[in-house]
């Protein structure tokens, strides 16, 4: 075995660093994922897919990765994560609009710092609460921030702020003023680097003793406290880290959209969408929230162009996920893979599948006919 290959339980794994090891399948998927991520500009050019929508989806997915730290490990449901996304975006916008800061990286830093500050403050108040109280408190803080920005002349009310320091051109990236196309590309590749770095950090974090402690807190707070884990402090720290991810995503969103207004960034619905992204992609996985972010944002952007009742899309997808993919898109891949492998080995199972679908349809039709008969002719 070389330095990068280790043997664990009879299986060869790729070793990235201390404690970070991938199975062969995971390694292949990671490489494919990276290639796809970096090829997105070319893929969209060739296929007609929307580059902007995918970029935007990745950013919301990054926020969902942060939210997932709470959801997956401490088992706390935050309904207010748009607060950090929005503050991150507004942090960048305020620096660009009011202080004419032209460096994109400084704007991003400002956004992250603002979101971190807010996360520290909100986290202090909510870390001792559980379940519905935690969810409602996060929602309440989110709404307070939204209402404050909406009513504030400094944030230009509902009209929002531009992220164009000179009023027309985007900020500089790496000290250079790019053309519109160049700016979009550079920002995208920068986003990919930030995303990969953030995922690696999150992986390290959740596989560290701190991550294990969060798991313990999620499973049973009282027991975790009894074994000596400072529960509130750890939840507070997790909350702040989660908020930093949201702020990072929001700051990048500001650099992408070049205009920040309250509704797309701070409104409570956005919090619900970020939460849904994590569930849709698979909150039991590290990368699932990113997949969920891209899929949901893409759907939300495209739906109004194709269906009249586009507002129903989120609800229908949510129903579909809960009923058919409860572990989310990425979380269901192993189960689907195993099922397909079994059917490859034993094609006879397909007949059972068809029979099951047929009997399910028959049952549904029978129920519907019975219901109609009762409505029309009565129970007798």
Partner 1 sequence: MTTGLTDAMETGGIDRRTLLKTVGGSALAVALAGCTELLEGEDDPLADADVPDEPVESGLQTFTEGAPSVLGVQARYGAETAVRRINENDGIAGRQMNLDVVEESDAYLTNYQQFVDDGKDVTFGPISSSGHAEMVPEIEAQEVINVSTDGTVTTLYEEDFPDVTYSFRFQNHDVMEALAAVEQAVEVLGADSIDTYAGINPNYAFGQDEMELFSAGIEQLTGAEEVYSGFPDLGTGDMSTHITEVNSEAPDVVFSSCWGGDATLLLEQGHANDMFDAIDVLVGPVLYGSANDLSEDLVRGPIYSGSRNFYWGEPSTDRWSPAADLVDEVQSEYGVVPTAHFMSGYGAVTAWATAAEKAVRLLGRWPEQEELAMVLENHGFFTPAGYHTIGADHQGYSNAHFGELTWSDEHDAAALANVNVFAAKNVSPPPGEISADWIGSW
The stretch among 50-58, 230-238, 240-248, 320-328 that binds partner 1 (CB under 8 A) is 50-58
| Cβ-contact 59, 254 below 8 angstroms | no
DSSP, collapsed to helix, strand or coil, labels residue 141 as helix
Binding range to partner 1, per CB under 8 A, among 71-79, 122-130, 150-158, 366-374 = 150-158
Nearer residue to partner 1 within complex by CB, 205 or 268: 268
Instruction: Pick the binder of partner 1 from 2, 9, 48, 348 (CB under 8 A).
Output: 48
- Tell me if 203 contacts partner 1 by CB under 8 A: no
Q: Does 257 help bind partner 1 (rule: CB under 8 A)?
A: yes
The radius of gyration computed from the CA coordinates of the chain, to the nearest angstrom, equals 23
β-pair type (20-22, 11-17): antiparallel
* Cα three-residue angle 258-261-264, rounded to 5 degrees: 100
DSSP code of 103?
B
Give the count of alpha carbons within 13 A of 334, CB side only.
8
Does 159 sit near partner 1 (CB under 8 A)?
A: yes
Contact between 47 and partner 1 by CB under 8 A: the answer reads: no
Report the C-alpha gap between 118 and 99 in whole angstroms: 20
Indicate the residue among 123 and 262 with the shorter CB distance to partner 1. 262
User: Under the criterion CB under 8 A, does residue 158 sit at the interface with partner 1?
Assistant: yes
Q: How many residues does the chain have?
A: 380
Task: Give Dmax over CA atoms of the chain in angstroms.
Answer: 81
Nearer to partner 1, 183 or 239 (CB): 183
> How far apart, in whole angstroms, are the C-alpha atoms of residue 55 and residue 199?
16
Is 160 a binder of partner 1 (CB under 8 A)?
yes
Minimum Å gap between C-beta 355 and partner 1 is 44
Q: Residue 182 or residue 230: which is nearer to partner 1 going by CB?
A: 182
CB of residue 118 vs partner 1: minimum separation in angstroms? 22
- Pick the closer one to partner 1 by CB: 138 or 265: 265
Helices 131-151 and 82-98: crossing angle in degrees, nearest 10, is 20
The stretch among 95-103, 155-163, 201-209, 285-293 that binds partner 1 (CB under 8 A) is 155-163
Which part of the chain contacts partner 1 (CB under 8 A), choosing from 6-14, 23-31, 105-113, 158-166? 158-166
Supply the minimum distance, in Å, between the C-beta of residue 264 and partner 1.
6
Whole-number minimum distance, CB 316 to partner 1, in Å? 17
172 vs 198 by CB, closer to partner 1 = 172
State whether residue 235 is helix, strand or coil.
Answer: helix
Pick between residue 262 and residue 282 the one whose CB is nearest to partner 1.
262
The residue among 71 and 297 lying less far from partner 1, judged by its C-beta, is 297
Residue 125 vs residues 78, 114, 148, 234: alpha-carbon distances, Å: 13, 17, 19, 13
Choosing from 133, 154, 157, 174, the residue that interacts with partner 1 (CB under 8 A) is 157
Dihedral sign computed on CA atoms, order 107, 108, 114, 117: negative
DSSP 237-301: HHHHHHHHHHHHHHHHHHHHHSEE-HHHHHSHHHHHHHHHHHHHH-TTSSSHHHHHHHHHHHHHH
- Is position 237 an interface residue for partner 1 (rule: CB under 8 A)? no
- Three-state DSSP at 376 gives helix
- Residue span 297-326 as binding mask against partner 1, x where in contact by CB under 8 A, dash where not: ----xx-xx----x----------------
- Residue 250 is a binding residue for partner 1 (CB under 8 A): no
Instruction: Report the candidate in 258, 251, 217 with the shortest Cα–Cα distance to residue 234.
Output: 217
Question: Where does this chain bind partner 1 (CB under 8 A)?
Answer: 48, 50-53, 56, 156-160, 162, 164, 167-169, 180, 257-259, 261, 263-264, 301-302, 304-305, 310
């Amino acid at each position: 075995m070389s330095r990068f290959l280790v043997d664990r339980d009879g299986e060869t794994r790729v070793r990235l660093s201390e404690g970070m090891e991938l199975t062969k399948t995971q390694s292949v998927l990671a490489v494919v994922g990276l290639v796809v991520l970096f090829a997105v500009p070319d893929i969209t050019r060739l296929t007609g897919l929307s580059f902007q929508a995918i970029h935007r989806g990745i950013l919301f997915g990054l926020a969902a990765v942060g939210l997932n730290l709470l959801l997956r490990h401490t088992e706390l449901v935050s309904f207010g994560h748009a607060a950090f996304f929005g503050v991150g975006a507004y942090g960048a916008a305020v620096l660009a609009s009011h202080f004419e800061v032209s460096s994109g990286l400084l704007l991003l830093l400002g956004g992250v710092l603002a979101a971190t500050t807010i996360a520290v403050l909100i986290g202090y108040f909510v870390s001792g609460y559980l379940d519905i109280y935690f969810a409602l408190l996060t929602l309440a803080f989110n709404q307070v921030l939204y209402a404050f920005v909406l009513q504030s002349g400094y944030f230009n009310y509902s009209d929002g702020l531009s992220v164009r320091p000179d009023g027309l051109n985007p900020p500089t990236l790496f000290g250079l003023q790019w053309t519109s196309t160049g700016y979009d590309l550079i920002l995208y590749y920068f986003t990919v680097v930030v995303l990969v770095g953030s995922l690696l950090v999150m992986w390290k974090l959740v596989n560290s003793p701190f991550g294990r402690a969060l798991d313990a807190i999620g499973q049973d707070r009282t027991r975790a406290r009894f074994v000596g884990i400072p529960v509130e402090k750890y939840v507070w720290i997790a909350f702040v880290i989660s908020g930093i991810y949201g702020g990072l995503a929001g700051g990048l969103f500001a650099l992408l959209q070049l205009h920040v207004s309250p509704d797309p960034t701070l409104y409570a619905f956005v919090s619900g969408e970020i939460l849904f992204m994590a569930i849709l992609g698979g909150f039991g996985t590290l990368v699932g929230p990113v997949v969920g972010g891209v899929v949901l944002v893409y759907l939300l952007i495209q739906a109004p162009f194709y269906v009249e009742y586009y507002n129903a899309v989120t609800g229908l997808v949510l129903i579909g996920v809960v009923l058919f993919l409860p572990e989310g898109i990425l979380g269901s891949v192993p189960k689907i893979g195993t099922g397909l492998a079994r059917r490859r080995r034993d094609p006879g199972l397909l007949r059972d599948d068809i029979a099951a679908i047929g009997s399910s349809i028959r049952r549904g039709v029978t129920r519907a006919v019975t219901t109609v008969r009762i409505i029309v002719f009565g129970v007798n």
